[in-house]
Each structure stands twice: as structure tokens, then as C-alpha cells.
Amino acid sequence: MYNYRKVTDDLYWVGGDDHRLSLFENIHPIYHGVSYNAYLLMDEKTVLVDTADWSIGRQFLDNVEGVLGDRSLDFLLINHVEPDHAASIPEILLRWPNVKIITTEKAAMILRQFGFNIRPEQVDEVTEGDSRCFGKHTIAFVKAPMVHWPEAMVSFDTTNGVLFSADAFGSFRALDGKLFADEVEFDKEWLDDARRYYTNIVGKYGPQVLQVLKKASTLPIKYICPLHGPVWRKDIPYILDKYMHWASYEPEEKGIMIVYASMYGNTEAAAEVLARKLCEKGITKTRLYDVSSTHMSYLISDLFRYSHLVLASVTYNLGIFPPMHNFLMDLKALNLQKRTCAIVENGSWAPNSGNLMKAELEEMKHMDILDDEVNITSSYRENNESDMDALVDALVASFNKK
């Protein structure tokens, strides 16, 4: 049974929702599911834009057949070949063996690496500046390498202003019957999932995203059709502004994240004291996280959101507590930068986590590390009060800077 929706008069969403998958890319929790989006243009020629993960293959194929009716499929336009969007390509080729594939040279190469049986004469390889006309509609192609795979491109329908944006502007969360961002309370319900999607999936490639945003700024975009999440037809400057912040690593807002690593609760208690003292000074935009029990994707997402980071860690085997060390490695891998940071160290003997955490932060770009530091031996006591107060004052001063 088909379950598609119209985007414009002759463009249809033919994707589907997956509520069964628990880990996106087998790493990121998705408690509210995810959508796999594909689009079908019904012009003089029919054009399917990308496919879908095989987990929703049956629904996707029903939708395509439901929109096509008695027409055949003429073209398959592939912007991105990651398996969650390309897995249904073999079934498309079986059902419509004469379909012509439009994609990049590198995309065709990767599809063959995945074992897809694509004949050379079946592929129309395009590059930036190329366009194809399908009747009323002309679609132009723009390279988007490393957003977030090297073969990725985006496609722009110059007739009706539709940008097929591949993984850019995507989001975790199933659509559940809705399609457009203006059909949901995006800022309240979806923004956290969109940020967590971008920061963990695409976040490393900020410079490449900025290049695509620069190109996009020259286009008269009326719709953004991503491969996950809702379609944008209103308030497009809103989501473009979010992407500019995330891609340039500028914080969305002022806020202090306190991420602690505690074995028996003593470092946690110190982190709670810090949070309380900040609130007493009027800094209430604080978030406290146990690095051992909070999935890394949420930590990464909120750090792209907030301006300040405090790392509080026990010393473990003369090093950084492993979950905290993993967090720092993820920050470095995702190229996070432009944050103000502070250190709280704990250790019963030979405390060393503070110096090691500071060394990791110093290897990252444009990180302002406060000189004030709190060093705890085993548990937070009265003799730590003056150092904690000094750290709080330094954080408040930094926070209140224009």
C-alpha cells in the first residue's frame, strides 16, 4: 500500500520511516526513529531522486509504483551512495532495467565497490556546472565533496527552486505522516535531533559545508529536500543560520557544559558544587553530564550548541578516565573548536588527569583554556573552596564578555 506525499504539483516524497532501528550507523541512538527520503519527479520524463535503506524497501517501492502508475521510470538521479540511501538501487534496476542513472564518476565507482551490477552505458556521469532537462524541469548539479562522503553532490531544480540537498539539512526522527518543517514545532521538537545529526554525522567537515552554503546562497531556493527529516518550504533562513553556526564552529548560544568523570561520586560532587556556585552568580544556562552514562552523540551535540566547557575527571591508571578520554578523542576527530574551557582534576595519589586533559585541548584549534583550575585529592573539601570560587569567577567573567 502506497504512502507518499506531494512536495510540489509534480514532485512527490516517496520515502518512509524506520521505527525499528535503534542505532543509526550502528553508533548513534535514535529513540524517535528516522526517515529515509527519496523524491520522484513526474515530468515528461520521470526522475527518481535517490533511493532508501532496505529496512523500508517495501514501502519505498510501493510509493514509487504508486506515483508512477502505468508510467515507466526513466532516470535515477543519485546524489549520495551511502547504503542507507543506496541499498534499494539493485531492486530499482531489476524492476526498471532500462532506467538511466545520473550521478558522479566517484559515486559510480563506489557503487561498484559495494557490488552493484551497473553497466557503464547505463550511467550518465555529471559534474559541477552540468545540467539535464526532463521536460519542464531542468536540474543542475553542484559538487559537495565530504558533505559527508567524497562522492556527494546536491542537485538544484532551476524550474521550481527545489534543492535536493543529500545529507545536508537532515535530521534524526521519523516523520510520522508529516513532511514539512512547518508542520512540526521544529524549534521545540526537532532542533536537538537536527543538531545531533549534523554534529555527529557531518560535523568534522565544517569547511566543506561552508563551501556548499556559499554556493547555495547564490541559488533562489524555495524548497530544501534532504535525505533525512522534514522538507523546508518556509523559514529557510532559519535552518541556513543554524548550519552557518555549526559549520563555522561558532556556539549557538552562551552556556556552560560541565562534563564529569567520576568513579565513586567524589568528582561528581565537585561538579555539582561548581554548578551550584555558577547559578548563585546568575549563570543558570548550565548543563551537567556524567560522561560514563551519557551517549557521546548528545555530548557532542550540546557542545556545538554551548560556548563553555568544563572537564572534571578523576585520574585513572595515571591517565584520564577512559570515557572522558574517549570524549576528548571525539572532540578532536570532529574538529570542534572556538570554545572556552576549564579543568577540574581529582586523584588520590599522583593526580595527572588535569595536565593530560589540558594537553588534549591545546591540540585543538582556537580553544581558550582558563588558567584557574581546581585540583582535588580524593574528595572535595573546604580547602578547595578558594580555588573553586576563583574558577567560578573566571567562568563568569568569560561568560559575560560581549
Q: Are strands 75-77 and 46-49 parallel, antiparallel or unpaired?
A: parallel
Give mean pLDDT, residues 381-395: 97
Residues 274 and 237 in one domain: no
**Residue type, position 74, single letter:** D
* DSSP structure string for 199-241: IIIIGGGHHHHHHHHHHHTTS--SEEE-SSSPBBSS-HHHHHH
Q: What is the pLDDT of residue 401?
A: 87
Tell me the pLDDT tens digit for each residue of 117-155.
Answer: 898 999 999 999 999 999 999 999 999 999 999 999 999
Q: What is the pLDDT of residue 217?
A: 87
Domain final residue pick, 189, 213, 248: 248
> In whole angstroms, what is the distance from residue 147 CA to residue 167 CA?
7
Domain final residue pick, 195, 213, 248: 248
Q: What percent of the chain has pLDDT over 90?
A: 97
Q: How many domains does the chain have?
A: 2
Residues 56 and 190 in one domain: yes
Tell me the pLDDT tens digit for each residue of 358-377.
Answer: 999 999 999 999 999 999 99
> In whole angstroms, what is the distance from residue 63 CA to residue 36 CA?
13
Residues 222 and 314 in one domain: no
User: What DSSP designation does 379 have?
Assistant: S
> Over 333-359, what HEC string results?
HCCCCCCEEEEEEECCCCCCHHHHHHH
Please give the residue range of the domain that contains residue 124: 5-248
Residues 110 and 124 in one domain: yes
> In whole angstroms, what is the distance from residue 356 CA to residue 212 CA?
37
Residues 242 and 279 in one domain: no
| Helix, strand, or coil (residue 107) | helix
User: How long, in residues, is the chain?
Assistant: 402
Residues 240 and 299 in one domain: no
Angle between helices 266-280 and 385-399 (to 10 degrees): 50
Burial class (CB in 10 A: 0-12, 13-18, 19+), 49: buried
Looking at 85-241, which runs of residues are DSSP E strands? 100-103, 123-125, 131-133, 138-143, 153-157, 162-164, 223-225
- Residue 23 pLDDT > 80: yes
Q: What is the pLDDT of residue 185?
A: 95
CA distances from 311 to 131, 286, 327, 344, 389 (A): 50, 13, 10, 6, 16
Residues 311 and 194 in one domain: no
Residues 9 and 150 in one domain: yes
Residues 171 and 37 in one domain: yes
Residues 190 and 285 in one domain: no
Q: What is the pLDDT of residue 97?
A: 95
Residues 266 and 230 in one domain: no
Domain final residue pick, 196, 215, 248: 248
CATH (domain of 10): 3.60.15.10
Tell me the pLDDT tens digit for each residue of 183-192.
Answer: 999 999 999 9
Angle at 25 between CA 66 and CA 304, to 5 degrees: 110
Residues 93 and 226 in one domain: yes
Which residues, listed in sequence order, are joined to residue 100 by a DSSP beta bridge? 75
Contact indicator for 253, 302 with CB cutoff of 8 Å: no
